Structure 1
Amino acid sequence: MATTLGIPSEIPRNEKENYFRMRLLLERATDVLRDVLRTQLQAAYPGLFDPSKTDKLFDILDNQQVKHSLLLLKKRKVINSSQMKLLYPSGTPSATVTTQDLDITLAVVLLRNITNLNPRAKWENPPASDTSIEANIGRVKTYRNNHMHGSPGINDTVFQAEFNAFKHVLLSLSPIYTSDDYEKLLIVPLEAKVAPCQLLSVQLPGKLADLKGREDLVQQIQQHIAGETRLVLLTGMGGIGKTSVAIEVGHRKQNVLYIDMRQVTNLESVKLSLVQYFHPTRSLKDLYSDYHNILTQTFSSSTSNTVIIFDNNDEVIKSSLQEFHNLVQTILNSTKHITLLCTSREAFSLVSHKMAVVEVPPLDKAPSIGILWEGKPNSPTDSESLVLGEIAEKCGGNPLALKLLAVQLKKKNAQRVLDRMKNKNVIESLKVANLPASQEMMACLDMSYETLNTEEQKVFRALHIFPVPFSLEEVSEMLEIDEDECESILDSLCNKSLLSVDPSFYDFHPLLRAYAAFQAQKYPNEIEHIQEAYCKHYMKQTPLLVSEFDTLSSKETYEKALKILPHLKFIACLLSDQLGNKKLHDKEIRLRFLKSQNLFVIACVFQNLFLYAEAITYYEKSLEVKKEILGEKHPDTALTYQNIGSVLSKMGRFAEALLYHKKSLLINKEIHGDKHPNTAAQYQNIGNALCNMGKPAEGLTYYEKSIGIMEEILGEKHPDTAVAYQNIATALCDMGKYAEAFTYFEKSLGIMKEILGEKHTKTATTYVNIGVALYFMGKYAEALPYYEQSLGIMKEILGDKHPDTAATYQDIGNALRRMGKYAEALTYYEKSLEIKKEILGEKHTDTAVTYMNIGTALCFIGNYIEALTNYEKSREVYVEHFGAMHPKTMSLDSFVRDVKRGILMIVIMNMSKYIATELIVKGEYGQGDRFLSFIGWDFKLYYKF
């Protein structure tokens, strides 16, 4: 019984579904154009590019003719700065970029300009008679542009025509997808939920610096890696150079992967990214479906030694230490050929594998002077060396501080730099929040900042607002600066060691970000403008994202949401602080309301990412402002009550959810009247809450009110009406009225099959529900075919690795167990458990239920020891989630006690039989017979009590 999530929308649901199904087709189109590009590059550059061996474009980009062509395209503004930086970071061909990194726009540009295709063909608006590769590539780009810049809704007639035409174009270009693959996009469930994941780069960055004074440290780490050490933990203060050392070690080893953990919002994305690296030619749709197993199989079959670097782990350790431990254990347990090198300020322990903690010390005097004097043509004089030594001492041997001052020393002599450090007033700087730096470090930062021109200082201050690495396009759009000019400023900051850069993103060192934030506070009007631009940039992406969650909820949707999640969290905090200031003039009321709406949308995203506590916080803040400005009796207020109720239901707080849904119902009835879809939806939500509270009879009355409205307004043949019939049937099942429930389930199934077809998840769910009704009626053999029908549909549409598929395996196991087929039941339970452990995790309540079912089946076949193990695993999860005194936990406790008693009695009985047998063998027949009689009686008496 799903609770409806409300979002404002004027587009009919079927048109939104059409829009998102076309989006799915466009995603396939990107894969198709990448495949075409691989084929064309292999033909145009034989010997330079072979996609069967590697997808990297380095050799192509290193070709002088290609480089010349792309530079001309950059000059003509066909390729922008960010695209050029992706292909040629630092002006040299990228060693890591592959065709998978190219979007449709860049792929088309390369196809048109550096392959054997005719650049002068009819790429734009070709006639229908032109079926050339060039024309069809142009059609793909046109479809993409029209769709992405059009309304997020397509009527049925237009959708069917465009889908079919686009499908034929894609089939003519590449065989990587079949016609059936495309047709499945018409039935794939848009509401299917999956574990949120994102793809991360695993390429080792270029060396950050010539590591003066770190050779012994690098060799020490290499010795650990070459020996039996499985985990090397590199620790030290901020700015001490942990990342530089780790990357240097990486460049001295073969088979090295690198992940910057600051980019990680979900640790599952680390596994997915590693899998994608080892299987670059496999489609993402295959990898997504089973990446847990693929990762384990890949590592376990590997025979080559590999180093994986997890850099910048501080935030991950702080927020998700146990999950991080589990990730490390999973990787190390899968193979003996992998060593992990992790960096963080603080150490952590992992006792199950041999580990070494290596602390990065401050630099000695000589290498510190080497960094300060780097780039100078002559060696320092004796007097200069003395001064440089004093500067190095004041920097505390911190490489970051030394690099900042090295820039100063290129323009000023050493004594002037030292005098400035001594005379610098840093008292004000010491007030910088969360900046763990000495006075001397603050002096270094001030001196570097003062070398920037006015525009550079303004950009530097603005960049503090980014909580994660950022792209050139983001900064250019947010600050409204021409992209080439913006790139020049960012490169200048990099040259002065105030910013770092990789091929795609710029990044701040945490100390520099804190310093930039401090400088920004001196310009309140400027920071207000920056915050407004930042919010505008990311908030314009969220309404469509929420609409996607409501309609599509694909893996790609989660990936997009996770990508902007750090920004949305920052914006939510910012808006909350701003809305806390109620001293506003009337002219600012509209702005205040718009901020509350933004907070509402962010809360919707958090809800769909399962961040329920944060979603509640921001929904309530939004509700407070809406009640203040719009009043209690307003549709937006009702919608917010409804969504708070939905989140509370997801959190299992059904009584609280009920109160919010009732408030929403009262408002909807007053505004829309009783005969309205919104009113009917609230009746459904109230019925759901009551049933979840164990009050199915009360829930049924609300379901019946809702169905009366739906039948009148939507008609009987509507998916929402069919779902309402199922809710009635479920309530009837809870009341023990299985025969009556069965009638409603069959009615719902008829509608689903007629409207949605046989191959649809809602149809599959209805089959399951009919099976459940039969199961509770004791008709286990009749329930089984319905479960199996559902399983077939779910496996075809959702794949084997999906929670709904796992649940159906479990349902089949339950029916088989009730039929006395315990061995067969165990097979299905174990399949269900395997999926749930991979997708939901070991500590999920659904996983615990399957452990309990396995325990019960094992008891029936007499395997009490294994049964006890499974019961105890289940109980551990229940205690963690519900507490030791919860009825579910206490019920499981009784199972555990019974099994333990059973094991004990078997032991006693076997020992007693042995003693009696020994007595009889010795000829003491009377005593042996009496002993057996006594034990048999005692055994029965034990179970009586």
Structure 2
Amino acid sequence: MEFRLLGPVEVVEDGKVLPQGRRQERLLLALLALSANQLVPAERLVTLLWDDEQPPQPLRTLQVYASRVRKALPRGASLVARDQGYQLEIDPESVDVHRFQHAVRRAEQEPDPAARAACLREALALWRGPALVDVASEEIRQRLCAGLEEERLQTLESRIEADLLVDWNEQLVAELTGLIAEHPLRERLIASLALALYRAGRAAHALDAIRAAKERAAKDLGLDLGRRLQELELAILQGDAQLLEPADPRSGRPRPRQLPAPVSGFVGRVEVADDLAALLTDRPSGSGAPVVVVSAIAGMGGIGKTALAVEVAHRIAGRFPDGQLFLDLRGFGAAPPMAAAEALGILLRSLGLADGDVPGDPAEAATLYRSLVADRRILIVLDNAQDAVVVEQLLPGAGSSAVIVTSRTQFNQLDTARSLLLDALTDEEALTLLRQLAGGARVDREPEAAGAILRACGNLPLAVRVAGARLAARPSWPISHLADRIADHRRRLDQLGLRRNGVRAVFASSLEQLQASDDPEDRQAAWTFARLGIPDSPRIRVVEAGRLLELPEFDAELLLERLVDAQLLGTTSPGVYRLHDLLWAFANEQAEALFDSDDRELALRRLLSLYASVAWRSVAVRNARAVRLDWAVEHWKDETDLTEPTGERTFGWLDEAKPQMLAVAFQGTHVSAATRASALSLAIGLGTYNFSRECWADLISLNRVAERIALEIGDSFAAGLLLQDLSVGLGGVGDADGALGAFESALEHLRRAQVPRAELLALTNFTASLFATGRYEESVVYGKQALDLVEDVAEDALIGGVNLALGRSYESMGALEAARHHFEEALRAAHRTGEQWRLAFILGELGVLDHRAGRLQEAISKLRRCVDIYEGLSQRDDMAASEGELGEALLDNGEPAEAVRYLRNGLNAAVRIGDGERAAVLRERLEQAEAAL
């Protein structure tokens, strides 16, 4: 079985070419074979298959192509569709691209020139034409195959140089002349031709070849020749006899091959690896003195920086014929970081210098190092770097070399470096890695447990590898067993840190760099990291960090940014930060080790106070006489000095704070009485926000816990408020029985607390909740109970609320006159309170009733006022819904021209909110209006 991509795409089985369908199906096969045994995302395949215009349903079309490719595969090959991508499972050696690259690597290790030339010929023989020539457009071929074509040319150059060492000079002149005509600026070919001519006794022709190349370089590129050709020209002019003796330059110039073995089962990072390889290798040939390319890969410990660097380095090693250097700078670990002098000594010895020839002065060593690599094409991997100053001394000054730097710190100081920040694996990539390590069938049998493990690992490659290795070493374990063991974040690092280089050890080495720093800001940043482990949330904003650290927000932000630089913290948007889940577990360990329980609780109370301050502001914004504010007067005091947010901005602030706010609220319900009291006040204060955002699930879960706290301290008022909010929340999720039970309990507690306003509000809210769930008759029963309390309370807002709730229930029951009576009572109350939104809503309800009763002029008048008020309040959706009602009234009143605009606005709103039934009615009415014009 062979997959041939180096030329026309073919699949061969038992010596016969198998039919493979249409061009795009063969291109799909080629794309998958290029990434054999790796998951290729469907989105990437779509982009490459249709580089001009995609079909209407590209993913569906891709599925069809994949099905056809699967059917045409030879025995022993399989195409797997999973995780929003495709993976061709085959022996990599069955793909000619992989065989070519392996043959080149074998040749590089071959000491005998004749054997090396033979091995390179074998590799070149696999090429039957330009790669993917019959399936890919020129643009796609450039994206996918430019690197392969460059490898082919470099392999050809290496083969010719090996032939020259065997002294096949005359035979090579004709071949080289033809090649230079095709590639006039490739200096290795020009040098080989000049050397072949010189050895054939044609020194003048050799000089002519070099001078012609010099003229072409100056004319086409405006550049001079490279150092290698200049030295060769001088040697020919001087009649250097050494040029006549074939000698392997490797004997005098070591070609180091120091790359460690690639990580077994390297997964994902497809586009990142492609971009990195292209960055390091895509440069014009013969361009005089190319600029050294430096790529700096940054990311938190365990993210896979070294694995990516080594994977890409092996992939492009053939493009650097003078060798590959690999140096661990020990930036993060138990051993002290490597100094520049030590690093330069190692590099110089790797380049062939004896110990006695290595300068003791670091500046001299750096100068010598740059001189030695200036005319070579070497790939240098500087792993685990910490200090940008050290890295700068290890960068070549000029030439065709390339450098990959990996670090947990972003080196913004390296002006010439292209930075690459690695993130965690995608869900699909992490699952692929776990399947490779623990066994695909085993993982597929327990998909939920596997997903739980990956979520606990936060898709961090190191953590997934540790988890996968544990499962592989324990084949009798169900995957769910390990999932259960790492579910608790307090035990998670124990389960993922059983090796010396486990997750905890990697994180600790990063933190220790800050703790041991001479810079006091670094040490304070390490302390800050531990403080971030106090709240039960990996997410934090600057305003919250200021409370947690007891620092001004500006100073807190500087410390957070220092942690970002150290890759111990991520930032998702300006002012918002997030710890990776495993880093948060590590920070939690640090917090418990460094701070006593009283200190941690005090920090929690400061956060709870911050959240409660904004929550209570949101209550006052919507209703300055809200019943819950009566409780706050007695039980809560704003101890913050917040100037913002105010007004409606409080709701946006709470939206942004919601994930960590809820986590801290729940955390506060499980500690001391003082902290539980703070959590209780937050839960009550969030009622208005939860109603406005319909956060029913959050309300239900938090209020159930907070209610128990209220009962523990004997606060019937608080318990009643929480239970009546809970009743609304349960009604919102359709749990009518639960809502009724919560309401009855709320009513009992509020009556015990003797707070008539609260009792009336509870009855009103429950009336509205029963209405919302379609239980109109029950709604009326409780609404009447609320009316009995109205005279005692004599508060217009509450009077209006009761009558509005009753009016809506009566309307739904068909008792239109009763509905009108209560709506008019609610309208009078709204006029007295000046609540514009409620005024608009009631006018809309009365307008609909007038329309149904045939009082069209009154309906139109009320609905116009309703629309005007909504427009003034910028309530676009409510306004558009009322415009639909107004349009219908205008149409029935014989005014189709004006009706069209309102009906169209109402229809658009119904479509936008997904109300199909209302949209159908308005669409029909709009057609009637347009027909009447």
| Shorter-chain TM band | 0.3 to 0.5
Highest RCO, 1 vs 2 (Cα 8 Å, sep ≥ 6)? 1
| TM-score, scaled relative to structure 1 | 0.42
| TM-score, scaled relative to structure 2 | 0.43
